[in-house]
Structures are given as structure tokens and as C-alpha cells.
Amino acid sequence: MRYLDHAATTPVRPEVLQAMLPYLTERFGNPSSHHTVGEAAAAALADARARVARVLGFRPADIVFTSGGTEADNLAVKGLAIGAALRRRAPVHVITTAIEHEAILASCDYLERVHGFAVTRLPVDATGTVDPDDLAAAIRPDTAVVSIGYANNEIGTVQDAAALASVTAAAGVPLHLDAVQAAGWLPLAGTGADALSLAGHKVGAPQGIGLLAVRSRLPLEPVLHGGGQERDRRSGTENLAGIIGLTTALELAEAERAESASRVSALRDAFIARVLERVPSARLTGHPTRRLPGTASFTFAGTSGEAVLLELERRGFVTSSGSACAAGSDEPSHVLLACGIAPEVAQTAVRFTFDHRERGDVISVADALAASVAAVRSGA
């Protein structure tokens, strides 16, 4: 069986497991404990925080470790918005887009429903791209945070982070980039973002660990309250083994990024070309060139995406129709709908996401996809 759903999750790298093992066995201390075992754990935590900060271009004090990308997105959106509202003593305004991950969209819905905040959801064009001019026009005097995905998890479109950051900086509004899918593929330092969220399991670390890098000068209301860990920004005993794993995986991904992105982009382009050749009715979703190196998503009008997936798995290839967080839903993808794709066509989507270390034969995958589409259309 060949796994082609790395945007959903990746296997843990052997180097990461090796780095984590001591912190699951003999170095098991609680970083908040005031004895030698706890102090050793605290030193390891501080070292990991500094190493992550170097990769991201933030300061160590800006790094907040979380349970994953969803918590990091929640902390960024809710924390920055509520922090600003408390400082202003008035409701605030939040800007996002129509194609964000559910962690951002649901956080915005919560702020709107529970706190009465105003939320603007920017449109995108047919490629899933945000127009910086639309962002500039949407910013108001009470805008507290702009939250946009650096790269989309379903269609792979990469936003012009520098242009977006230029707009928010000129307006004095914090920009949060959801970089969960970008890690290992795109530059993370120098984006101009004031906050950046990551998830370990997208880059070869375990599930259940992530981080939010957020400028310490910004008011941030915690989502989790308790013992005041993470400089009072995220309470709860730190998952030290997971943090070591995330740090190791992030450093490896960054060291390999340029080579991986170049190699996998070439494989992706060959795969796309073969699919469009073998299945002329296939439609590539997302931006044709400004896309993640490992992502290729298509719609196949007149089929069922789920049926194509079953046919592919029968032939030994495992992939998905889109976001794992929406798996099992009968609703068409909100991302594809926002790109102007009809609901009945959106439900035919199939997404392929390759690993950073992919070196395999992609032509056989394209041929299996063509055979699967043909089988679904023929009812075989």
C-alpha cells in the first residue's frame, strides 16, 4: 500500500524517535518542578524553545508550545482578538478568508457568536488566492487580527505572505499565518507575520504537539488557564518529549527544505501533467504554479470522489478527498465552493499530497488514478 495523504499526517521520522526516547524514559522530569530532575527538564525545554525560535525567526520568548495546530490556531485567533478587546474595553474586528482551516473559521464563529465581535471573511479568486487590495480595504480602526493560511491544506495554493504582511504592517494590525501545511516546504522566517502556527505531525513529529510563535509584545488572552506555564500564555504541563520531537523534526525539515521542495515540485508537475493527459476532463484545483510542492488536487466531473478513492485503494494507493478534519462529511468542500466550483463538482475532488522525502514513481500513481476514474465512470 502506498500512502499519499501526507497533508493529513506524516510518519514519525526515526531521528525524531531517537531524540524523544530519553525524555520518555530517564529524562522524564516536569519542567515546573523545583528539583534537579525538574531543572534538567526545564533546561531541555529552554534549549528546544531557542532552537525553534532560530528556525522561525522569532525570539525564544515568543514561542508557545501547544497540543497541535488546532490549539495554536485557536490561541492565535481567540487570544489576539480577546486580548485586544480587553485592552480596548470594546468588541473588535477580525479578518480571515473563506478558505481557512476549520480551526480558524470555527474560532471566528465563536468570537462572533459569543463575544459579538465582527468578522470579515475575504473572498478568493478561482485559484484560491487572496487579493492584498481586498485585505487593505477590509481593515478597520477596530481590526484586532488578520488570520490567513500561508498555504491551503486542500488545494495547496500559497498566499503572497510578504504582500499581505506589508498591508497589515502599514495598518498596524497583527498578521497571523497558519503555517501548518507550509512547514518544510516554504520559508518560515522572514514572512513578516506577527504570529505563526505549526503542527508537528505534518513534518515527521508525533501527533499531539504544535506551537504558536507570537510576538510577546502583543496582548494574548490564554485559551487554557491553570498553572501559568508558557509565560502565562498556555497553562498545562509541557509535553517535553513531544517538544523535543517537534524541534528535531522542524530543524531537519528546514535543513532539507530547499532540496525537498525542488525535487518534489518536479515530481508533482510530472504527476499533474500525466493526470491531465490521461484524464482530459480532470480539473486541477488551486493555483497552477504558486502551490505547495507536494500537493495536487483534482476534480473529476461526473464521478464520485469517494468512489474514486475506493478504487484507488483497491489498486494499492491511499489518499483523500481533502481535509482530514472534514472526513466523512457529505457537504462539498467550503474551499472549493469559495473558488467558484459547483457543489456537484466539488464533491468529486481527490487530493494527493507527497512526503518531503518522496522519490518514487509518480507516473504509476497517475495511471492508477486514470484507471480508477474510468472504472467509476463505467460502473465497473
| Residues near 141 by beta carbon (within 8 Å), at least 6 away in sequence | none
Q: How many CA atoms lie within 13 A of 322 on its CB side?
A: 30
Annotated catalytic, 325?
yes
> Using CA atoms, how far apart are residues 214 and 79, in angstroms rounded to an integer?
10
Q: Quote the CA–CA distance of 319 and 127 in Å, as a whole number.
A: 22
Please answer whether residues 60 and 247 qualify as being in contact, where contact means their C-beta atoms are separated by less than 8 angstroms. no
Name the burial class of residue 142, with classes exposed (0-12), middle (13-18) and buried (19+) by CB atoms within 10 angstroms of its CB. Answer: middle
DSSP state of 291: B
Contacting residues for 62 by C-beta, under 8 A, at least 6 apart: 53, 213, 214, 215, 216
146 within 8 A of 168, measured Cβ to Cβ? yes
207, 166, 160: which is closest to 182 by C-alpha? Answer: 160
Q: Which amino acid is at 68?
A: G
Crossing angle for the helix pair 14-24 and 240-278, to the nearest 10 degrees: 160
From 17, 138, 224, 325, active-site residue: 325
Q: Amino acid letter at 106?
A: A
Amino acid at 248: T
Distance CA 244, CA 248 (A): 6
Q: Provide the annotated active-site residues.
A: 325
